Amino acid sequence: MSLSQGSPQKKRHHHDGLTSPKSFSNPSSPTKKLKKSKYANAPSAMLSNADELLRSVSASPSKALGSSSRSAPPSPSRSNHASTSNGSDPAAWIRDALKNVDQRILDSRTALPITSGKEAIIEAVRNNDTVVILGETGSGKTTQIPQFLFEAGFARRAPIQMIGVTQPRRVAATSLARRVAVEMGQPDPAVLPSVKGKARTAAGGLVGYSIRFEDRTTRNTRVKFMTDGMVLREMIGDAAASSTNSASASSPALRSNLLLKYSVLIIDEAHERTLRTDQVLGLAKRIQRERKAIRQSWIARGKPSGEPEVTELKIIVMSATLDADRFANFFATPSTALAVSPSIADSKILVAANGKQEVPILYVKGRQHEVTMFHTDQPAQEWTDAALRTVLQIHVSRPPGDILVFMTGQEEIDTLARSLELYSSELPAWAEAEGKQLPMAVMIAPLYAALGPSASAKVFGPTPPRTRKIVLATNIAETSITIPGIVFVVDCGLAKEKMYTPGTAVETLQVQEISQSAARQRAGRAGRERAGECYRLYTQEAFQNLPLAGTPEIVRTDLAAAVLQLCAMGQDPYTFDWLDQPDRIGLQESVLQLIQLGALKIEAVPPTPTSNGQVNGKQAKTSAKLALTPIGSKMAMLPVSPAYSRSLIAAADRGPTVARQTRDLIAILSSDRSILIEPSDPEKRDEANRAKSTFVHPTGDHATLLTVLYSYLAEVDKSRSMAKGRKLEGKVDVKVVEKEAREGVKAWCSNHYVYEKAVKNVLHIRKQLRNICRQQKIVCDDDPDQLVNGADAESDPDNLDSDSDTSSSSQPNRDGLFVTRKPTSTVTQDTEEDQHYIGLRQSLLEGRISNAALKNPSAPNTFKRIITSASSSGLFKVHPSSTLHPSKMAREGGGRKMDAILFEELVFTSQTFARTVSTIEPSWLQEFAQRG
């Protein structure tokens, strides 16, 4: 492809299927109005008497309906493992790798709009360092472009060169990897056996994914889908490795944090502008320029055989709704973070590699199927009621096809699910009374971040015959993922966003209007498999008044984790290549917080030596820079927030028992959903409080949550022991025994209002944290090296038929003690201290010193943070959900001293509240202050 000279933002390429985008929807004229219809241009078949339907159903006795849906297991992969060629011919290896591709899938791929522009895309990537691709939702860009590049030879067999694809969300990364694996005739990465060594490599295919706490890749992986956070973690891991390996750090070809195993990095859904996406964009820009300079230096020195070859990195930025000029300009200009490089001795080569470059913008025309848009003719008074009515109208009047409803959060999803179950149960009687045809059955499938992969499998599984699936989702379903069968989309036009206020450190979850780009993305979910329809619960005028793009996360979130990651990679957060500069006050507060935690320090940098000690005729001055401390290096290697990583390191100094307690608590707090169920119904709420009272610990919420986890594990151990005893008796059906044991655990969870799915997710996170603790030499008393028998029976609570000898002796008891058959010298167990979780709370305080507060004597039941800014009073109350709330303490007789507390977060509703609170001793604050 020939590229004309000129500014990159003015370049537009029209080649084959790559043309200027056209409007993907044609809103009908709102002049024609239908009786009883909310929509100005609603289809004629829309039910005219929906109000009568709702009234007739509402007249029937109400029923308390909970969600009865159960997650279906992921469908097994039908693809075969692709063998690789032993020859050195790359083309032969590619042909052999793709020999299991199903011809029917190949034919369906050719029908995608992106296919007509395949050669143009490959040519643009070959001839340019960076390419920006703007394609409509449903054009096939996310699934097809990685395959185009693989077929074109951008991935190498040896040395390993991969095509990396980043996604903002875990669900998108996993579902896309599984879809692309099927299209390439590869095994499903989600069912990759949990094996190591050669067996793991043999089991893996060309496509894999990597998300937080879950790595489904092997040495065979060449197309890797991953979240933005995992890309950052790879960079930090390389950087930490090189910092401990002087030989590696001194070799230009073995420079750290350069993603040397990747030949192409595709940054998808860049328009979402999450904080991690912005970090990836800035780091990718620097890495690309530095790798280019390293390669040019290697060539200029005659390609020395002692240094491995470093390839250049190709970057593709793509989205369905993207400010293309902004991204093209960003990558066209030099990197401000690459002023100097220890890998490049020749400054001229570095300057040349970091110069201005051409960044073409490619437009992918069209989508596979059209989407018809419908807007309300009047603003909706209550959007949840409007959503209910619209779904029912579609269900009883439109042709077969699944429905996707975009909602704001889990609570709203649960409420609508109960309403839909109630009304759908009355539909047969209504249809008979009205003389209507019997509607299809309804299958309700929720989709939000807190659901694990197994729970969300119901969403992506096939819809049963004579059934309409109704997916109730947050904006997690807005981009990238394809839900099979979706024909109708209902868009409420709202979404929940976290807003962080620097100075007060208060994070609020606010419902806000979405942007026009997000609205287009949502509408695009309807046209994936056939022509669809999108019903917007707002007027066309309201759509025109929406902002063009959403607010970048970088200006509304805490930057502490981002600053730590950048410093771990040797980057200065103040001179980093930000697409949008973060708030200066927020950046300074994050730096001060990390200095307070001991992760960063300020180092003096002497002036560069000159012949006369002067620069530009003036005396050279000593400057300062941020540097990572040894504690900071260890914190950066832990995949949790800086506060949690600091607490875990502090716990390790207090012994294996405290380290295990802190690790388990961090796993609980890192989960997307609480392990305790909080019913919305007042009667059930009182019942839940009585059931959960057995878990309440006098020190507060942190110890209470640990008690819940350990009680669950004890119940699992009890069920396992009983099942094992019945098996030894003989003459019993093993499967029946195991089923009864699992049902017993479920009954225990139900009676105690414990959310079992959330607990299993916590155990999964806990297992990954255990491995990470081993790698970082953080010793816990349940580590196999600390246990005589080295078993880990409780890591899999579903495995109730385990025959492990330590299944009963290695379980933590109610107080968090961990019992072993033969205590070792490395395990210290102070019973009195452990019962009060003193070490745990002290460790948490070291990571959350800014979240400590003292009782305010001037106002009852209020507390004041010990560290506050001039713009904040720091006053707040304990949240009603806490076990330390005054009302709950009064019912228990009170008597607990609360002169000082530690909390996890501040939230603002009608006033400021602290959530997840524990008591601490005021003397601890004085001790930490003197130490600092």
The identity of residue 455, as a single letter, is A
CATH code at 90-364? 3.40.50.300
Q: Closest Cα partner for 665 from 351, 902, 885? A: 902
The domain segmentation of the chain, as residue ranges, is 90-364, 370-551, 558-608+619-636, 642-839, 848-931
Mean pLDDT of 733-757: 89
Is residue 410 within a helix (H) or strand (E), and if so which, with residue range?
helix 410-434
Per-residue pLDDT for 601 more than 50? yes
pLDDT score of 785: 61
CA atoms within 13 A on the CB side of 876: 30
Distance between CA 340 and CA 354 in Å, rounded? 10
Same topology for domains 90-364 and 370-551, yes or no? yes
pLDDT tens string 402-443: 999 999 988 899 899 999 999 999 999 988 888 888 889 999
Partners of 624 in beta bridges:
604
pLDDT score of 354: 87
Domain 370-551, CATH homologous superfamily name and number: P-loop containing nucleotide triphosphate hydrolases (3.40.50.300)
pLDDT tens string 511-520: 889 999 889 8
| Dihedral-angle region of residue 921 (phi above 0 means left; psi in -120 to 50 means alpha; beta otherwise) | beta
pLDDT tens string 121-136: 999 999 999 999 988 7
**CA dihedral for 242, 245, 246, 251, sign (positive or negative):** negative
Least confident of 605-619, 655-669, 874-888: 605-619
Mean pLDDT of 306-311: 87
Polymer length in residues for the chain: 932
Per-residue pLDDT for 200 more than 90? no
What is this structure's pTM? 0.72
Least confident of 256-270, 306-320, 670-684: 670-684
pLDDT score of 806: 34
- The pLDDT mean for the chain works out to 79
Cα→Cα distances 564→286, 556, 631, 637, Å = 18, 18, 11, 10
Q: How many C-beta atoms lie closer than 10 Å to residue 345's C-beta?
A: 11
Distance between CA 125 and CA 119 in Å, rounded? 10
Backbone angles phi, psi at 262, to 5 degrees: -110, 130
The identity of residue 882, as a single letter, is S
Per-residue pLDDT for 624 more than 90? no
CB 495 within 8 A of CB 550: no
Q: How many C-beta atoms lie closer than 10 Å to residue 749's C-beta?
A: 19
pLDDT band, residue 254 (cuts 50/70/90)? very low
Per-residue pLDDT for 705 more than 90? yes
Partners of 495 in beta bridges:
512
Cα→Cα distances 353→6, 94, 253, 867, Å = 19, 31, 16, 46
Backbone angles phi, psi at 754, to 5 degrees: -105, 130
Please state the separation of Cα 439 from the chain's center in Å. 37
